[in-house]
Amino acid sequence: MLTLHELEAWSFPGTALAVLGHPITHSLSPLMHNSALANLALTEPAYGDWRYFRFDVPPADLPQALATLYVRGFRGINLTVPHKILALNEVTLIDPAALPVGAINTLRHTQEGWMGFNTDGYGLATAVQESLGLKIRDRPVVLLGAGGAARGAAVECLQRHCASLWIANRTAETLAALLADLRPIAHGIPLHGFAPGHVPADLPADALVINATSSGMRADDAPPANLSDLPRPAGVFDMIYNPPLTPLLQAARNLHLPQANGLAMLVHQGAKALEIWSGVAAARTAPMMAAALQSTN
């Protein structure tokens, strides 16, 4: 793990990539990316000098860090908590697909400055199809949460033309604000909000349930919703990957529902970021990244 102080004296002869966060010690991104780059280098020597680093950068230091990384010639940056929203003010260009999300997690070095992207939505949709065999298109979605992660998931579901989107959140004001922001991009897709424990009578069965809350990261967390209250879902996807079995996923298992955690989402969003930097298709490097994570279990 590196810091801003070490970055100011940076010297690396190869192609540098990095992830910034605070804290960052838990990040699996260096393992995933460096493993994929090493695999690519076996047949494509040009990737032999590519390396992926991690920097602990407090929020107040983000502008200086990004400016220094740019001057030092870093090819690409990943951003994790708490930088995904803060970085919006620090980039020159933003991918149009990331604008409705209001957050970016991937930066690419351009002549004009940093260009921001968001690969989380791609990671979510690809992981749901891979892990649960479900496509978002034409399927009702029940989204748990209305925070930043939920916003990104909601935008992706709408952009992929889900049949309807039902958002459950305990705080009515937060829920109402998210629904208001989503309506202009829904383009006729039905949007609904409800409080957990007050399930609408017309909520459809066979929906995809996505947890975008932090509930489940601790062993004593209660599930963010009671799955028994919902018409039987087609599957349950929890964006949390540590722990691998959250209370929500355990409840899904008890009900014999298809269920998956967010590890595949982590892999696919990372593979998409590497595609943005290198041009190598995400579908090619995702298995390399997944294998690297499996080797740690």
Q: Which residues are catalytic?
A: 84
Nearest-angstrom CA–CA distance, 141 and 136: 8
Q: Which H, E and C letters describe the chain, residue by residue?
A: CEEHHHHHCCCCCCEEEEEEECCCCCCCHHHHHHHHHHHHHHHCHHHHHEEEEEEECCHHHHHHHHHHHHHCCCCEEEECCCHHHHHHHHCCEECHHHCCCCCCCEEEECCCCEEEECCHHHHHHHHHHHHHCCCCCCCEEEEECCCHHHHHHHHHHHHCCCCEEEEECCCHHHHHHHHHHHHHHHCCCCEEEECCCCCCCCCCCCCEEEECCCCCCCCCCCCCCCHHHCCCCCEEEECCCCCCCCHHHHHHHHCCCCEECCHHHHHHHHHHHHHHHHCCCHHHHHHHHHHHHHCCC
Residues contacting residue 257 through CB under 8 Å, at least 6 positions apart? 227, 232, 233, 235, 236
